[in-house]
Amino acid sequence: MSVTTDSAPPPVQNPRARRPTRRAPGPLGFIWSSTVMAWRWITRMRTALYLLGIIALQTALATAIPQEPNVPTTVAAWRAGEEGPGVIASQVIDAIGGFDVYGSAAFLALLLLLYLSLTACMVPRVRAWIRLVRHSQPPLVRHLTGQPEQAHLVTDRQPAQVHAQAQQLLQGRRWRLRPHEPDDAATHPVADGGLATRPTPAQVAAEKGLWSREGGSLLFHLSFYVLLIAIVLGQLLTFEGQRGVIEGEPGFHDTAISYWSYNPGRWFSEDDHHGWRLDLDAFEVDWVRDPLAPGAGQPTVFRSEVTVTPRDGEPEAAVIDSNRPLMIDGRRVTQLDWGYAPRVVVEVDGQVVHDGFIQAVVNQRGGFFESAVKSPAADPDIGHRAWFYPFAPPDEDGNPIPTGAPWDDAPLLVLEQWRGDLQLGASQQTVNQLDTEGMESEGPLALRVGQTVEHEGVTVSFPEVRRWVGFQVASRPQLNWLVFGAGLLVAGLIPALYAYRRRLWVVASHDHATGRTLVTVAGRAFQRPEAFEEELRDIAEELADATGGELLPADGIPTTDDPASDDAPRPTPDGDDATTDRRDPDDDDDDLVISDRRSDVLPTPVRSGSSPTR
């Protein structure tokens, strides 16, 4: 049998302290009391906020300090004192787990405590909210004089008809309703042992905002649970790798050693790669070339035509666009970067020491691309710093004019030749950088496509130029959970902030003096009472129109002098209502703690001839 109770008012601020419990003697008693104290500390929402702040600080630390799972060479340089703040500071960072924050014992312990604290805080609130939804109902009222908002109207309809019309009106406004018709036995007061119970008049009690406000708050907090789980899964299961591919050249396989940059999650192993192959057939890019047109110089096309070959399948053609990534076996492939790839052939004494494409990247200042040509097969080593200008048309004298335009209608390759020791493996340098510390410059040279130049005993050819594209392959299984958690956060935040708790009563009684029906619409707002005043006035006006009545002014409320009229509402001796809460609406706490205590929902007994006990 389901038991329903009146929905409780908001809790009293600063409630009475919990009665202390007597601790058992001995070490076991001390351990038990310490455990209880620690559990109470963990189950406080304030503790969860403290833990969340500490985790945020650790995340910021992981952003500022290199992490060993991602950049082990940089971490090794910090520990050796070659980079970073020094050996002593690196030892301190290493001792606190700063080089592997997400895998440190401190971070995992804090994360476990945070989940435990959130769970301990949320489970009682969820259970109380479910109990509230299942069993609570709007409270009835005996007298309306204590309600802060009231409106009155008179009509020729019968009270039962007015109550039916009020139910229909409030139901359309999505209020929870509780119609009440008094029993015959409750028509008059009954004395029993010096106690008197007042009759509850026929009425329609309504309430809204109780379920949605607390439910939105719970949903908002549960969304953080989902977001934290998604973030942890992202750190463990994610994968991200980058690789550049030149048009028409062999592509790469989905293996760990094929990527230039490789950032796997802690639980992502090499066996999780699928082994497919991606080849770049053609890359199409174009721009707004009219200097006077809107968006001049902006790209209009950014498209890669690729061929994907599964490990045990047939090749398939596909297209990767700027706004249309490619999904391959759950991996998201996007275009990350692009550039030009001039082919450079270097010969020394008739022997080819370099023949390949260099992947030039755009300079930070723009207008040209730069790279390096390294020929360690020569003796001594030969290197060239390279600058590629896509559009450098000749002037009247045949001299090139670099324009900075990105389209390759008049490409020009400028090289600076160096001879000496390339220091490959002895210094940190990328494929586009040339370490000239142990080399001597032999001057510059410039080439057009198809030209060959001999310089200081070295023959350099520039037979062709192609384009290259940098692809990013990523696996982020946590994205769907992050989107789901963000949706829960927004869905919970809206009602938690904008669902206002209101109570309203419609009491219609027969006025013996005029022979008409006097209707009182009264209510109380626990949030934003100034907005509720207008809402209650609108409800009263709609009810007056629906019942063919007229709304009375605030100073023109009729009163009844018939003491025998049990239908008319009467004030209590202290001028307040006995069944509604006596709380100032401004004292309401937004974060409601749901209570189903009987003392919150039952009326206070009143002794005959005395004021209500409190």
Q: What is the DSSP letter of 142?
A: S
Convert the pLDDT of each residue in 404-442 to its tens digit.
Answer: 888 899 999 999 999 999 988 777 788 888 988 889 999
> How many other C-beta atoms are found inside a 10 Å radius of the C-beta of residue 329?
13
Say what the pLDDT of residue 555 is: 64
Asked whether the beta carbons of 182 and 160 are under 8 A apart, the reply is: no
Helix (H, G, I), strand (E, B) or coil at 88: helix
Residues of the chain whose pLDDT is less than 50? 1, 185-187, 191-192, 194-195, 559-614
Asked whether the beta carbons of 428 and 407 are under 8 A apart, the reply is: no
Convert the pLDDT of each residue in 77-95 to its tens digit.
Answer: 888 888 888 888 888 888 8
Say what the pLDDT of residue 325 is: 92
Q: How far apart, in whole angstroms, are the C-alpha atoms of residue 274 and residue 264?
A: 14
Q: What is the dihedral of CA 333, 335, 339, 340, to 10 degrees?
A: 60
Q: How far apart, in whole angstroms, are the C-alpha atoms of residue 80 and residue 74?
A: 10
Say what the pLDDT of residue 80 is: 85
The end-to-end CA distance of the chain, in Å, is 32
Asked whether the beta carbons of 308 and 320 are under 8 A apart, the reply is: no
Pairing of strands 5-6, 136-137: parallel
Residue 548 to residues 139, 542, 555: CA-CA distances in angstroms?
28, 10, 21
Query: What are the φ/ψ torsions at residue 550 (nearest 5 degrees)?
Result: -130, 140
Kindly report each contact of residues 211-214 with a partner whose C-beta sits within 8 Å and lies 24 or more positions away, as own/partner.
211/129, 211/132, 211/133, 211/176, 212/495, 212/499, 213/495, 213/496, 213/499, 213/500, 213/501, 213/592, 214/125, 214/129, 214/132, 214/592, 214/594
Say what the pLDDT of residue 561 is: 39
**In the chain, how long is the greatest CA-to-CA distance?**
126
Say what the pLDDT of residue 17 is: 54
Asked whether the beta carbons of 367 and 391 are under 8 A apart, the reply is: no
Asked whether the beta carbons of 380 and 439 are under 8 A apart, the reply is: no
> How many other C-beta atoms are found inside a 10 Å radius of the C-beta of residue 308?
20
Query: What are the φ/ψ torsions at residue 252 (nearest 5 degrees)?
Result: -140, 160
